Each structure stands twice: as structure tokens, then as C-alpha cells.
Amino acid sequence: MKLDGLGIFVKDMAAMVRFYRDVLGFEIKEDENTSNVFLQKDGTLFLLYRRSDFEKMTGRAYAYAEKINGHFELALSVEDYAAVDAAYRDALAKGAVSVMAPTTEPWGQRTCYIADPEGNLVEIGSFQP
């Protein structure tokens, strides 16, 4: 088996489409009221799937984390430390919620965290000074 992609089950599709498209720059062509969004980001499949539609398809209900949660992170890389700072400032200016301001870690990575509208963590980082 090989890892093919990543999916997030979402409550508010319109808010999530706007965040990943308008704040993070993902190329999303589907309507904000669609059931699911498939896109390729840097060769990886990325999926937003409406929770209620997934539950209907599978015939069962699921528990979901609320607010900012630490169940997983979506890690995005940029070219260098300055780009981490710039991407963080840009995301906040467009409405992202700050979780951790840019910091250079002891292992040599400059990293920061923001949260999407449903509380999922998004890391933006680089190992290039």
C-alpha cells in the first residue's frame, strides 16, 4: 500500500472551502455547497468530505472533535524561514486563527501553527534559513 492522500470530514463545507482556497491558496474549483471536494496539492490528494454525507453513505454516526484540536496536523512547507513568517502573517490577515507564532525549533525548523475554521491544526514550516 502507498499513501494516496488526506481527507478531512467537515461540518461547514462553505467555510472550509473558503479557508483552504482563499487563506491557504489551494486550487479548489468545486462550489462551496458541494458534498465533497477532491484536489491535488503538490501531488497529494486532498479531500474535504461533508460529515453528514459520509455518515449517510456509511450508515452510521461518528464523534468529531470540536474547537481547536490535536488529532492531526496538516503540514505545509515553504521555501525558507522568511517565507514561514510571511505565510503566517498573510494567513492571519485573511482570518486564520493563530495557534503558535513562528518559532525556530532546536532541530532547525522554523515553524508556526494556525487552525482552520473547524479547529484542525495547520503547520507552516521550513528547514531552510
pLDDT per residue as tens digits for the range 69-93: 998 999 999 999 999 999 999 999 9
User: 53 and 87: one domain?
Assistant: no
Do the domain assignments include residue 11? yes
C-alpha neighbours within 13 Å on the C-beta side of residue 104? 8
Based on the structure, what is the number of domains in the chain?
A: 2
- Which tens digit of pLDDT belongs to each residue from 15-56? 999 999 999 999 888 888 888 998 888 888 899 999 999 999
Do the domain assignments include residue 64? no
Do the domain assignments include residue 12? yes
Residue 68 φ then ψ, to 5°: -70, 125
Label residue 106 by pLDDT band (50, 70, 90). Answer: very high
pLDDT in the model for residue 127? 98
User: 41 and 83: one domain?
Assistant: no
User: Given CA atoms 48, 18, 33, 59 in this order, what sign does their dihedral have?
Assistant: positive
User: 83 and 51: one domain?
Assistant: no
User: 89 and 51: one domain?
Assistant: no
Mean pLDDT of the chain: 94
pLDDT in the model for residue 8? 94
pTM as predicted = 0.92
Any idea what the CATH number is for the domain that residue 119 is in? 3.10.180.10
Cα 103–Cα 116–Cα 86 angle in degrees, nearest 5: 40
Instruction: Give the Cα separation of 64 and 71 in Å (integer).
Output: 10
User: 91 and 115: one domain?
Assistant: yes
pLDDT mean over 56-79: 94
pLDDT in the model for residue 87? 98
User: Given CA atoms 102, 104, 108, 113 in this order, what sign does their dihedral have?
Assistant: negative
User: 121 and 77: one domain?
Assistant: yes
**Order of strands, sheet of 5-10, starting from the edge strand that comes earlier in the sequence:** 5-10, 44-50, 36-41
Task: Give the domain range for residue 92.
Answer: 73-126
User: 77 and 117: one domain?
Assistant: yes
Virtual CA dihedral for 113, 116, 117, 120, nearest 10 degrees? -90
